[in-house]
Structure 1
Amino acid sequence: MARTAVATPEEEPQRSPKSKPKRRFGRVRQLPSGRFQARYPGPDGVDRPAPETFATKKDAERWLVLKEAEIQRGDWMSPEAGKVTFAAYAAEWIDDRVLKYRTELLYRGLLKNHLVPAFGNRHLADIKEADVRRWRKERLAVVGQSTVAKAYQLLKSIMGTAVADELIRKNPCRIKGAGMPDTPERQTVPMTKVIEIVEAVPERYRALVLLGTFASLRWGELVGLRRTHLDLDRGLLRVSGALVEIGGGKVMEDTPKSRAGRRVVSIPPEIIPELRVHLDMFAETEENGRVFTGPNGGPLKHSGFRRTWNKARWGVGLPDLHFHDLRHIGNTLAASTGASLKELMSRMGHSSTRAALIYQHASQDRDRAIARALGKAFTRAQTNGHEKSSGTQRARKIIKFG
């Protein structure tokens, strides 16, 4: 029987007690400085170092474990992805969108005046939450809150798209409420003043004031009206377009401000006779002619109407009243009728409930004020002893003594 050879201790391979198996993912090496560097193969096949070095080898190994888990989850993002400058990405962001003419002008103005000076040369990946907070505070010190809110909202939208494009991991715009413009409450005036304004403007503009108030139309929607949009026999008005001034005395046809802006509005019967007179005297005579025109014909421009409006508002003692405030007055009156939220949104042409809720809230406040005034009148009547015997008094006595 063959004998099995047994190795002597001298013949056994020598193993270092400190030797460890090779790392399964990535590698760690000590730098001349004494710190440790971690490197790993990315999913794209590129070998990359960690963005920072580590004080200990264990820290570097721990970072590699987390990086490997990130890759396995599908959350890995190329460090080079966010190296595009904000100015370049923002310009492309606007170019890629179908925007209203005035909206595009607003966005480009906000970029030029408020965002690019602060972030233009910065890489997307380098814009942090602290940078946004600092920028907002500095802007609030020099411009109005409403402008800063609009600029912040634009910044948030651009950075949100960068997240969706997988250029950055998270949106640095996280300030609660920073994108909500703090617009001042618009002026509300009594109906008697609206009548005074109607009488103060030249006759060719009376229908303009009436529809702006009682049909809740925006300026662009008013001057964009055509004869075919009016059905005075049924008391209806269809909003399907708007006229926009683009500078240099030029105007362009546009769609309403939002999809909800396309709507049909009922016209109060009391103002229809005035509208018929206007169509006979001042509107273009063609079947699809404009309802409102300037004194010399052609589209009515806000810039040309400004002098007339200024004279009228000063004449009735309301120098701060804007033409758009007429729409506000009409919306407030509509809310005071008890209209539902959906009904207000439909009439106003809003896709968001925010504005309609404001008018509903104002209506509820006014209703409470009316109730308080009625209660005070009742109390005064009791105090002065002017109550007369009535069914209400007899009923109260029955309740009290019955």
Structure 2
Amino acid sequence: MAKRSRRHSGGTIRQLPSGRWQVRVRDGATSKLVALGTYATKADANAALRHAGADQDRGAWVPPERGSVRLEDYARDWLDSNPRIRSPRTRERYDGLLRLHIGPTIGQAAIGKITPASVRRWHTDLAASASSDTAAKAYRMLRAVLNTAVADELIVRNPCRLDGAGQERAEERPLATVAEVNELADLVDPRWRLLVLMGAWTSLRFGELAALTRADVDLMRGVVRVTKSRQRLDDGTSVVVPPKSAAGRRTVAIPPPLVPEIEHHLAAFAQEGADGLLFVGAKGAPLDRSHWNRRWRRARAAIGRDDLRFHDLRHTGNTLAAATGASTKELMTRMGHSSMAAALRYQHATDDRDQAIARALGEAMERGKVVELDDRRSG
């Protein structure tokens, strides 16, 4: 039999037959007593009641029943109604994170029961079983879902409070030399030669290159306009979507030696008409990543660079662009990044440029010495 309730300001506590202490809090909006939970000791129960009262005083208390929804169910609704998730490929990635790494584990808990400790245990287990990038992506998704739960007043505070858990540590990628880029372009079929050259010297991503049309290339101005990207979905189909951010929609200047290559490609291989694709197969099919990867693996093996991904050509172009002395803003614009983090990485990687700066400073110092010596002699 439960012991008589002891009334406190804002609620009651009572000891249950099990020996645990039950806390009920008076909801200021309805004046009804709401079960807060049970606690092992009377002291813990009193502390919980005081904390609930303090939260009510500062307008930060949420009735426990609001947080009773299962995290996996709430996350699925969040995914279905999120206006920022427009890209089909992005939707697939979130689906995978929820299905494989959030739903089966922490996703089975009620949102109101998730604590910083339970998030920490989940992340530790995930980091041990999946790649660091996957763990970071899953953590960012969980944090975003629970931020929305705070906004929906299902919980008071987001329990995702692990410093750095959502940051991906990009591995240092290999760099292709200019000579290697040219070798790779020579080794692939002539139809794909320009794909390799533009991958390096215009810094376009594979999906951006696959979506280019004749109308996107302006040889009079010497620029290529990036307005869309082709994405391959898990079912093998592909879709053309706008860039993820405003920074992805950009105009990129073409290095002059590349212009004759583009002119030849347009005449020999591109589809006809303004909307004709720049890169298509011999039978007119759009460029497909899986088919291209087979050709790419053969070409890189022929030059002994099995470590190179196609995306590393972009890395080569960006690094050399940074070495020209381009500013952070200029690099961000050319690469299509809204964050300066990537541009700064390329700037930090240009040791050759730093040596050139040092030589220029040395020349200035030497000129200054000559002027100073001439002044002394004339005096």
TM-score tier by shorter-chain length is 0.7 to 0.9
- Are residues 190 and 52 of structure 1, via their aligned partners in 2, closer, same or farther at CA, if it must alter by over 3 Å? same
Deviation at 1:371, TM superposition (A): 6.6
Deviation at 1:24, TM superposition (A): 6.6
Measure the CA separation in 2 of the matches of 1:114 and 1:178.
15
Deviation at 1:259, TM superposition (A): 2.1
1:197-346 matches, cutoff 5 A: 197-346=184-333
Measure the CA separation in 2 of the matches of 1:30 and 1:135.
33
Structure 1, 298-307 or 222-231: larger mean CA deviation: 298-307
1:2-401 matches, cutoff 5 A: 25-26=10-11, 39-42=24-27, 43-52=29-38, 67-98=52-83, 99=85, 100-363=87-350, 365-369=351-355, 395=370, 398=373
Deviation at 1:45, TM superposition (A): 3.2
For 1:159-208, what per-residue CA distance to the aligned partner results, in whole angstroms no more than 9, with x for missing partners?
12112211112222111111111221111122111111111111111111
Structure 1, 248-257 or 82-91: larger mean CA deviation: 248-257
- Are residues 29 and 181 of structure 1, via their aligned partners in 2, closer, same or farther at CA, if it must alter by over 3 Å? closer
Measure the CA separation in 2 of the matches of 1:125 and 1:141.
26
Contact 2:36 2:64 survives alignment (8 Å): no
Structure 2 length-normalised TM:
0.86
For 1:57-116, what per-residue CA distance to the aligned partner results, in whole angstroms no more than 9, with x for missing partners?
x98777656544533432221111111111101111111124211111111111111111
Question: Which amino acid in the other structure matches residue 254 of structure 1?
Answer: V
Contact 1:37 1:54 survives alignment (8 Å): no
For 1:219-240, what per-residue CA distance to the aligned partner results, in whole angstroms no more than 9, with x for missing partners?
1110100111111011011111
Deviation at 1:370, TM superposition (A): 5.5
Contact 2:14 2:21 survives alignment (8 Å): yes
Question: Which amino acid in the other structure matches residue 71 of structure 2?
Answer: F
3-state SS of paired residue (1:51): strand
Contact 2:325 2:353 survives alignment (8 Å): no
Measure the CA separation in 2 of the matches of 1:228 and 1:169.
52
Contact 2:60 2:156 survives alignment (8 Å): no
Q: Aligned residue for 1:15?
A: none
- Are residues 142 and 51 of structure 1, via their aligned partners in 2, closer, same or farther at CA, if it must alter by over 3 Å? closer
Deviation at 1:31, TM superposition (A): 6.9
Structure 1, 60-69 or 206-215: larger mean CA deviation: 60-69
Task: Count residues in correspondence.
Answer: 364
Measure the CA separation in 1 of the matches of 2:109 and 2:248.
39
Measure the CA separation in 2 of the matches of 1:104 and 1:31.
47
Question: Which amino acid in the other structure matches residue 83 of structure 1?
Answer: S
Measure the CA separation in 2 of the matches of 1:63 and 1:366.
61
Question: Which amino acid in the other structure matches residue 70 of structure 1?
Answer: D
3-state SS of paired residue (1:120): helix
- Are residues 78 and 273 of structure 1, via their aligned partners in 2, closer, same or farther at CA, if it must alter by over 3 Å? same
Contact 2:26 2:32 survives alignment (8 Å): yes
- Are residues 366 and 180 of structure 1, via their aligned partners in 2, closer, same or farther at CA, if it must alter by over 3 Å? farther
Contact 2:34 2:63 survives alignment (8 Å): no
Deviation at 1:322, TM superposition (A): 0.7
Measure the CA separation in 2 of the matches of 1:35 and 1:241.
61
Question: Which amino acid in the other structure matches residue 297 of structure 2?
Answer: N
Q: Mark the runs of 5 or more structure 2 residues left unpaired by the alignment.
A: 1-6
Measure the CA separation in 1 of the matches of 2:166 and 2:12.
45
- Are residues 370 and 46 of structure 1, via their aligned partners in 2, closer, same or farther at CA, if it must alter by over 3 Å? same
Contact 1:230 1:237 survives alignment (8 Å): yes
3-state SS of paired residue (1:92): helix
Measure the CA separation in 2 of the matches of 1:131 and 1:28.
26
Question: Which amino acid in the other structure matches residue 94 of structure 2?
Answer: Y
Measure the CA separation in 1 of the matches of 2:145 and 2:206.
30
